[in-house]
């Protein structure tokens, strides 16, 4: 029952992503985010007032559904309202806020009973609805619905009156008019559709296969199996602090270093960390790992073995922290950002929801299979598998186009006309 309580959330997120394939293009990006407050508040009410197990399950499922809607809508909304020069930094904000929110909830969890923690979860949801009511909708979405006057007002509000927003408006309108019809199955076979579609889906798939969800879910199990001497109550705060610092670094460097460089560094760090954990788990049990008896005997060999064992237990702790650092500074936030950047406008709303569905179904499957593989083949096997995926991530990052500093319309031009014309148009704009 505890296993299902943890994993049913991922099924809710997957369902939310599936629903957002419809919501994003019907309700709009902003309205979809605001709509997520409904299942979120109801879900937290179920959790706070739960008298039976099924009420807890329904609460987790509904809050997961809300999380799936926001996961698919927020990156698209941010990418469409952001200026190209700061889109990378702003695109990292959802990850920063998610990690910061987790840290705040962890701190509240030390002070409040779990029912009141569920009540506290409703507060940021209500603030979100209140603050979003003052925000404009995406200019691109408004133009696609024929609301050109509202689109101009939104762009003026976002860029400021002293900026030449008319030039940007003309670029957006021309791009939207070329994609006025909804996406069809026949169009998916066109390179400007299936290439960015393949990039986004593969990135979400590879991101989860790198092992981040099982590592975070089974963090205490991994530490127990490797004899890391760390009190369980410190796990969440250490992981949260490391993730927050790493995502903040990525946010400040993404628009300077570029997406591809951070993806290289991220995959390389995760590869080294997974290999370290795999080899440690495979070989260290051959050494006098549990040497407390020998130390108690007072022999010199026992004391040396004890010092050796205690020193070695730092290795999996450091490797796990570096894995989280690597993920948080690259393949964590950039995957969401690129999803919203490379997709053409007519496919952006639908495919973003599909990406969330693929991502969290993969996370659910990995979380369920991880323990089975551990019991059957050993804990090192999953980490060696994650290492292979990280090598594939490195190769995949090499094949990606760089989107730093490019407008969304010029990124679309890359997939429609090829790299040469994309670069030429960018130089002319500069």
CA end-to-end span of the chain: 58
- Residue 420's pLDDT is 45
For residue 253, give both structure tokens: 């460097």
* Cα(120)–Cα(249) distance, integer angstroms: 29
Q: What is the pLDDT of residue 293?
A: 40
Give CA–CA dist 368/264, Å, rounded.
29
Angstrom distance (rounded) from CA 109 to CA 113 = 7
The confidence score (pLDDT) of residue 410 equals 79
The pLDDT, as a whole number, for residue 389 is: 94
List, in sequence order, every beta strand (DSSP E) within 189-347.
Answer: none
- Number of Cβ atoms within 10 Å of the Cβ of 128: 16
Q: Which pLDDT score is estimated for 276?
A: 92
Q: Please answer whether residues 132 and 122 qualify as being in contact, where contact means their C-beta atoms are separated by less than 8 angstroms.
A: no
Q: What is the pLDDT of residues 39-52, one digit of tens each?
A: 999 999 999 999 98
CA distance 384 to 379: 9
Return per-residue pLDDT of the chain as tens, 430 residues. 766 776 788 888 888 888 887 888 788 889 999 999 999 999 999 999 999 889 999 999 999 999 889 988 888 888 888 887 777 778 778 878 888 887 888 778 778 888 999 998 889 999 999 999 999 998 888 888 888 888 889 888 888 888 777 888 887 787 777 665 666 666 677 777 778 888 888 888 898 898 888 888 777 777 777 766 666 556 667 777 787 888 788 777 777 777 888 899 999 999 999 999 999 888 876 444 444 444 444 455 544 445 445 567 778 888 888 998 898 888 888 887 787 778 776 777 677 778 888 888 888 888 888 888 888 888 889 999 999 999 999 999 888 888 777 777 777 777 777 654 444 444 444 4
From the list 180, 194, 213, 191, the residue with the least C-alpha distance to 360 is: 213
* pLDDT at 184 (0 to 100): 62
Report the C-alpha gap between 74 and 33 in whole angstroms. Answer: 7
Asked whether 332 and 247 are in contact (CB, 8 A), the reply is yes
What is the pLDDT, as a whole number, of residue 18? 82
pLDDT tens digits, 208-257: 898 888 888 777 777 777 766 666 556 667 777 787 888 788 777 777 77
Q: What is the pLDDT of residue 178?
A: 67
CB neighbours of 364 closer than 8 A, spacing ≥ 6? 7, 10, 11, 14
Tokens 């404009």 belong to residue: 136
Name, in order, each residue with C-beta under 8 angstroms of 191's C-beta and a sequence gap of 6 or more: 415, 416
Please state, in angstroms and rounded to a whole number, the distance separating the CA atoms of residues 398 and 168.
30
What distance in Å separates the CA atoms of residue 34 and residue 52, rounded to the nearest whole number? 29
* pLDDT at 387 (0 to 100): 94
| Cβ-based neighbours of 155, under 8 Å, separated by 6 or more | 139, 165, 168, 169, 172
CA distance 150 to 141: 10
**Do 240 and 101 touch, CB atoms closer than 8 A?**
no
| DSSP output for 301-369 | HHHHHHHHHHHHTHHHHHHHHHHHHHIIIIITHHHHHHHHHHS-HHHHHHHHHHHHHHHHHHHHHHHHH
What is the residue whose two structure tokens read 């092992």? Answer: 211
Q: Is 387 helix (H, G, I), strand (E, B) or coil?
A: helix
* pLDDT tens per residue, range 352-389: 778 888 888 888 888 888 888 888 888 889 999 999 99
């Amino acid at each position: 029952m505890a296993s299902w309580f943890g994993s049913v959330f991922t099924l809710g997120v997957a369902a939310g992503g599936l629903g957002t394939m419809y919501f994003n293009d019907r309700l709009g990006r902003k309205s979809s985010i605001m709509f997520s407050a409904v299942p979120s508040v109801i879900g937290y009410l179920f959790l706070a007032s739960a008298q039976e197990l099924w009420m807890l399950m329904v609460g987790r499922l509904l809050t997961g559904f809300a999380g799936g809607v926001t996961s698919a809508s927020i990156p698209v909304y941010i990418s469409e309202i952001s200026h190209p020069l700061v889109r990378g930094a702003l695109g990292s904000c959802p990850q920063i806020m998610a990690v910061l929110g987790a840290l705040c909830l962890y701190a509240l969890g030390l002070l409040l009973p779990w029912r009141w923690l569920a009540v506290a979860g409703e507060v940021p949801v209500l603030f979100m609805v209140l603050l979003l009511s003052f925000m404009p909708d995406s200019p691109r979405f408004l133009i696609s619905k024929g609301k050109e006057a509202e689109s101009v007002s939104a762009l003026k509000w976002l860029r400021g009156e002293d900026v030449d927003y008319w030039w940007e408006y003309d670029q957006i309108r021309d791009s939207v008019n070329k994609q006025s019809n909804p996406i069809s199955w026949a169009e998916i076979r066109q390179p400007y559709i299936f290439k960015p579609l393949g990039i986004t889906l593969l990135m979400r798939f590879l991101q989860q296969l790198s092992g981040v969800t099982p590592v975070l879910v089974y963090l205490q199990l991994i530490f127990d199996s490797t004899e890391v001497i760390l009190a369980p109550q410190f796990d969440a705060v250490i992981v949260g602090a490391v993730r927050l610092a790493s995502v903040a670094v990525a946010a400040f460097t993404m628009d300077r270093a570029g997406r591809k460089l951070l993806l290289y560094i991220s995959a390389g760090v995760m590869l080294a960390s997974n290999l370290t954990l795999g080899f440690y788990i495979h070989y260290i049990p051959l050494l006098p790992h549990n040497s407390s008896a020998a130390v108690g005997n007072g022999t010199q060999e026992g004391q040396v073995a004890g010092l050796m064992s205690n020193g070695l237990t730092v290795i999996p702790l450091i490797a796990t922290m570096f894995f989280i650092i690597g993920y948080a500074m690259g393949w964590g936030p950039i995957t969401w950002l690129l999803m919203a950047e490379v997709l053409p406008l007519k496919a952006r709303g639908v495919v973003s929801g599909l990406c969330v569905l693929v991502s969290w179904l993969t996370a659910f499957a990995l979380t369920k299979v991880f323990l089975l593989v551990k019991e059957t083949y050993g804990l090192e096997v999953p980490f060696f598998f994650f290492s292979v995926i990280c090598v594939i991530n490195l190769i995949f990052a090499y094949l990606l186009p760089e989107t730093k500093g490019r407008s969304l319309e010029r990124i679309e031009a890359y997939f429609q006309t090829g790299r040469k014309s994309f670069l030429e148009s960018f130089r002319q704009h500069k």
